[in-house]
Amino acid sequence: MRNPRELTEAERKALWAEVQAEFPGDEMMQEVHFVRALRAAQLRDFTCEERVEYFNQHLPQSSPRG
């Protein structure tokens, strides 16, 4: 499975500026939406199936019950 793409510092700054403009004066919402926008940009070229596989690998595995 491939890895999410790394954004350049300029791309990260542009995302941050967009988020700050969208949520002026609300630092918590800025941080939440920056993470959402960052992840979307990193996975932009992934297919739907690749995104599902990527996120599923980060879910905790349940242990079998006996």
Segments forming the whole domain that contains residue 13? 9-56
Residue 37 included in any domain: yes
Residue 38 included in any domain: yes
Residue 33 included in any domain: yes
Q: Is the pTM of this model over 0.85?
A: no
Q: pLDDT tens, 11-64?
A: 999 999 999 999 999 999 999 999 999 999 999 999 999 999 999 988 888 766
Residue 52 included in any domain: yes
Measured CA to CA in angstroms, residue 9 lies from 12, 39, 45 at distances of: 5, 15, 19
Provide the number of structural domains found in the chain.
1
CA dihedral 9, 39, 35, 56 (to 10 degrees): -140
Residue 63 included in any domain: no
Residue 2 included in any domain: no
